[in-house]
Amino acid sequence: MILIAYTYLFEYLREMLFVKEIKKKYITQRKNTFRDIEYNSYKNLKLIIFDVDDTLTGFFQKFDENTKKIIKKLSQKYQVVILTNSTKGREEEIKKEFDKTNIFVKGMADKPMKHSFQFILEKFDISPENTMMVGDNPFADMWGAYRVNIRHRILIEPLSSVDKNIKETFFLFRILRGFERKLFIKK
Ligand SMILES: [Mg+2]
């Protein structure tokens, strides 16, 4: 796992060295939270992929009712996918929250590797041109989506840093996150 992470970090750094513009390119838009995205304004949007932890919920937290309502409503108009690098257990938990909906949940996604993104695009037979990725992680979510040409790559602020009702992430993750955002987001 660590080896994979380093391989991808290396690939990222290499791209950054040779294509300085990449930092500018791989995030198409920034918003405060997933609630601030005007989904209706994206023409031909068919598929929305959401990260979970610190995007829709706090880290390993349950979904609040309002969030569930928003996501379910979106799923009436778009194909909605919840894609997380988290465990199988977390995947099952989320599936239970969204049973009797057409929302597709996938855990152990290995973002920013391409295979889970590709799996979803193929499963629903939707072009990356008609797809949006929403997440708080510039490396896993944004760069991952960029690598498979997902058109709209929307970076949001970590939910626990903007929503007082959300429990803060474990401090080690917070430190890592700060470092990641420094490294991967162009000022
Ligand atoms: Mg996240």
pLDDT in tens, 127-174: 999 999 999 998 899 989 999 999 999 999 999 888 877 777 777 777
Residue 14 pLDDT more than 70?
no
What percent of the chain has pLDDT above 90?
A: 65
pLDDT band at residue 70, thresholds of 50, 70 and 90?
very high
The whole-number pLDDT of residue 89 equals 95
Tell how far the Cα of 23 is from the centroid of ligand 1, in angstroms.
19
The answer to whether 43 and 10 have CB atoms below 8 angstroms apart is no
Residue 111 pLDDT more than 90?
yes
Comparing 24 with 65, the larger pLDDT belongs to 65
5-19, 98-112, 122-136, 168-182: segment of lowest average pLDDT: 5-19
The whole-number pLDDT of residue 109 equals 96
Tell how far the Cα of 82 is from the centroid of ligand 1, in angstroms.
11
Residue 20 pLDDT more than 60?
no
Which residues on neighbouring strands pair with residue 53, listed in sequence order?
Answer: 57
Tell how far the Cα of 28 is from the centroid of ligand 1, in angstroms.
17
Tell how far the Cα of 135 is from the centroid of ligand 1, in angstroms.
6
Tell how far the Cα of 137 is from the centroid of ligand 1, in angstroms.
6
Tell how far the Cα of 157 is from the centroid of ligand 1, in angstroms.
10
The whole-number pLDDT of residue 161 equals 86
Residue 71 pLDDT more than 90?
yes
The whole-number pLDDT of residue 81 equals 98
Q: Which residues surround ligand 1, an ion (CB under 5 A)?
A: 51, 53-55, 136-137
What structural domains does the chain harbor?
Answer: 26-184 (3.40.50.1000)
Tell how far the Cα of 155 is from the centroid of ligand 1, in angstroms.
10
User: pTM surpassing 0.85?
Assistant: yes
Tell how far the Cα of 134 is from the centroid of ligand 1, in angstroms.
9
